[in-house]
Structure 1
């Protein structure tokens, strides 16, 4: 018995534990749950970002942990001989609102007249916007108070900045919730075309430059996994997307729209024309109830269909209509050439080649026309590229950059692809075929003569599309002189040897 007691003391099983050693608690078996007692499965969401610890807690933890051994370099991969660069300290933003001086002007609204944050005002100052455009002044007066709004304005009037400034202000004034997932945007902007999404996202990044807000864009035709990695890497504050690609992410469980505070539908009339409304309805059903979110809807036209949609998706919206002084900009000089269909290409080639034009946009109604025109111009020695629904998105973005940089002289596009293209210094717009919808004519020629510069539009009226001219003239409220092209512009295209 004496030996047995001694052994028990050694192994800690006696009545009195050995000094300095705590008695071991008996292991208990964890209770098991039946299938009926298990909690329901949670919907799949992107992983949460780890919560940041207070500095004091981090310091305390660091002192409690044992120091790590110094990491030795891998023997199979020698270090580079080049010395490592030290990271430059992040520059301190010394900008002040006093640096942005804009004198009051009768009939003009300044951004200073609204309660905007200094970080947002800094970005507006960088962009060189001293005064609001009419649509901006009209919309911001309501949306900054949290009211829903429906805006009607033509392209190029500044409506994108109007809703972006409203979104940024809302997100800055309302802190994000503590419980937040990576794939939950706080603001959602839906646009009908890929080019328009890219342009809106670019404008949003410029305006959020000093705010710390994250902007993401989802469009079809781009690498899905690359967009997914972007979503998983950081919180999404402002999401700009086409309906189809957004639904892809939503239905996979990668994007959740239950935290959307502001929703914007841009170019609602175009979304109707393109048949996107069923998809948009699916998306809106995933967002909070219309009484719990702010909804902004923009359209170039207020048809009955557009207004019916607005009624379903908004609550007591402010209606802001900006009537342009002229449907088409006065800075665009408009011409129409009466020409046989078989002579249209010769006329196009000679106009570009003889005048040595450097940045021209050509519109055609069909994708096959766009492809043929681009192929013939390239074959005849004029650098050209095409923009249509058949061109992959990554190539379209590369093409647009080449056009901006002057590497491409002629950009041939359909109306859908041409929407949302904002390139400075387009000298001429050529309508190879006249559009059937008169509004498309206004959008086309609006690619030139932007920001107060002058531009020229030339339309080819052939036997197949001359019928489209009278409705265009009715929309413009005036006649356009129809001319016969000079003989030198109808010369045969020289063959390349």
Structure 2
């Protein structure tokens, strides 16, 4: 029977190692189906010898059965109890190189011959650290404001001094601060952000210059000073205050108030307060901010206060008596803008003749430093574009120039890389550059005080300089006020004939830059610097424009 035969055949095949489908195919060849994919894979290749052993089922490749033997697994190295409890060795801290000891300084090398009518720094009871710094700076005789104030300030008296920038007043109050610091070493700050001396100034350039002078005069006394001003990285200045104790902070009012509000600075330990250029503070509307700062200080009878101003007007003296009791007023007659070292010339010319006279003056004095003042930022930009179009290299300092570029321009001006700078009153107020040969008032200022501050950029530190002012039909009204303030008559004269030489045509036209790129600033960049806030340099108090000039 076919069915019984098929069952027996299947049983024999199973015993012999054949699969059920193969046994069925052998029993009934006609009904056999083609082998499946898996069966074909298991079938030996044609011509290969058959074995009686069943084929192994198809599985994934066993890596352990590979011909290449695997490397034996690395067992962890046993440790005894002593090794387990032993701490891992630590790298010793990096040793800082030992400071090179400074060579001892002998005060006997600082020899200055006595001179009638002049005070030497050796005539004061100054510590060796201060005398050494004065010697390094090349100072020999005191300036009039230094000679008149050092006696009072070193004894701790409050002083209201009339002195303009460039007369040595910065050194006068810095020496007094360092003297007090060295005399009372136990009172030096031990906590970051808690200075013992505070200097408030209206512009960031003046703040930077004050700290630079403080570092120079305090280098042998270990004076630690920090500049705080707007227009630069807020966090970087805050980090400098927090990283170590500081003795002196010089600041503009706006940024200082920000730091007071954020508790980055504590003024309760201030023993000496200096208010520099108080008249400019008044003009720029900073007095409410300064009063707010002073309320954070110890009471006025618990600190020493010094105030300096180019003019001691009744308004300035009212502030002085408000901020300090019984101030000693110091006024040096020769310091009316240092007129004794400055030749002042006024050219009464028409507005259309100004550029011609300026161009020929620049060409005939090539290689000398010129600082040119204009009343408005837009006018500064126009003059810079016109000069650049005539192939005269010029830089601009105005409120639209960002702070980093301002600092670069000032450094280039000091180094002599830049010879000509056009500036507004506020921007030019912070220019402390020696050897400026000419100051040119392209526009007569609207205020007589501004004339004093402008011409004070030249004739500094005993050098001589020239101040040239163009007085056109729209600006001559201020001359009587300037003469009254100076106490002398300005010398008006017609320019020499060669100054009216025809100006050649411009080699190219310099387009005005859009405001988004810097508001047309030559030497400016992206907008920044005096852009909003309290530190920008526009006057928030009374207007500086005369009727009809708005």
TM range (shorter): 0.7 to 0.9
- What CA distance in whole angstroms lies between the structure 2 residues aligned with 1:285 and 1:474? 36
1:277 aligns with 2:297: no
**Alpha-carbon spacing, 1:470–1:321, altered in 2? closer, same or farther (3 Å):** closer
**Alpha-carbon spacing, 1:359–1:104, altered in 2? closer, same or farther (3 Å):** closer
Once the 2 structures are TM-superposed, how far is the Cα of residue 139 of structure 1 from its aligned partner? Answer: 1.2
Match of 1:16 in 2: none
Pairing partner for 1:492 from 497, 503, 512: 503
- Whether the 8 Å contact between 1:421 and 1:447 is mirrored in structure 2 is yes
Rg larger in structure: 2
CA RMSD of aligned residues (A): 2.4
Pairing partner for 2:445 from 424, 431, 435: 435
**Alpha-carbon spacing, 1:262–1:344, altered in 2? closer, same or farther (3 Å):** same
**Alpha-carbon spacing, 1:98–1:68, altered in 2? closer, same or farther (3 Å):** farther
- What CA distance in whole angstroms lies between the structure 1 residues aligned with 2:189 and 2:239? 21
What does 1:85-484 align with in structure 2 at a 5 Å threshold? Answer: 87=97, 89-177=99-187, 180-324=190-334, 328-476=338-486, 477-484=488-495
**Alpha-carbon spacing, 1:204–1:348, altered in 2? closer, same or farther (3 Å):** same
Alpha-carbon displacement from aligned partner over 1:5-44 (angstroms, at most 9, x marks no partner): xxxxxxxxxxxxxxxxxxxxxxxxxxxxxxxxxxxxxxxx
- Whether the 8 Å contact between 1:363 and 1:413 is mirrored in structure 2 is yes
Pairing partner for 2:89 from 54, 61, 69: 69
Once the 2 structures are TM-superposed, how far is the Cα of residue 96 of structure 1 from its aligned partner? Answer: 2.1
Alpha-carbon displacement from aligned partner over 1:213-261 (angstroms, at most 9, x marks no partner): 2011111111112211211222111100111111111111101101001
- Whether the 8 Å contact between 1:215 and 1:237 is mirrored in structure 2 is yes
- What CA distance in whole angstroms lies between the structure 1 residues aligned with 2:274 and 2:87? 52
- What CA distance in whole angstroms lies between the structure 2 residues aligned with 1:167 and 1:178? 12
TM-score computed with the length of structure 2 as normaliser: 0.72
Once the 2 structures are TM-superposed, how far is the Cα of residue 474 of structure 1 from its aligned partner? Answer: 3.7
Alpha-carbon displacement from aligned partner over 1:39-70 (angstroms, at most 9, x marks no partner): xxxxxxxxxxxxxxxxxxxxxxxxxxx99725
**Alpha-carbon spacing, 1:194–1:450, altered in 2? closer, same or farther (3 Å):** same
**Alpha-carbon spacing, 1:153–1:458, altered in 2? closer, same or farther (3 Å):** same
Match of 1:76 in 2: none
Question: Structure 1: 5+ residue runs without aligned partners?
Answer: 1-65, 73-83
Once the 2 structures are TM-superposed, how far is the Cα of residue 206 of structure 1 from its aligned partner? Answer: 0.5
Once the 2 structures are TM-superposed, how far is the Cα of residue 149 of structure 1 from its aligned partner? Answer: 1.3
Tell me the secondary structure at the aligned position of residue 295 of structure 2.
Answer: helix
Alpha-carbon displacement from aligned partner over 1:296-328 (angstroms, at most 9, x marks no partner): 111121222111111111122222111117655
- What CA distance in whole angstroms lies between the structure 2 residues aligned with 1:86 and 1:224? 30
- What CA distance in whole angstroms lies between the structure 1 residues aligned with 2:370 and 2:189? 51
In the alignment of these two chains, the number of paired residues is 421
- What CA distance in whole angstroms lies between the structure 1 residues aligned with 2:115 and 2:232? 45
TM-score computed with the length of structure 1 as normaliser: 0.79
Alpha-carbon displacement from aligned partner over 1:245-291 (angstroms, at most 9, x marks no partner): 11111111101101001000011111011100000001000011111
Tell me the secondary structure at the aligned position of residue 320 of structure 1.
Answer: strand
- What CA distance in whole angstroms lies between the structure 2 residues aligned with 1:355 and 1:178? 51
Once the 2 structures are TM-superposed, how far is the Cα of residue 107 of structure 1 from its aligned partner? Answer: 2.9
Of residues 86-95 and 276-285 in structure 1, the stretch that sits farther from structure 2 once superposed is 86-95
**Alpha-carbon spacing, 1:123–1:299, altered in 2? closer, same or farther (3 Å):** same
- Whether the 8 Å contact between 1:337 and 1:485 is mirrored in structure 2 is no
- What CA distance in whole angstroms lies between the structure 2 residues aligned with 1:327 and 1:160? 15
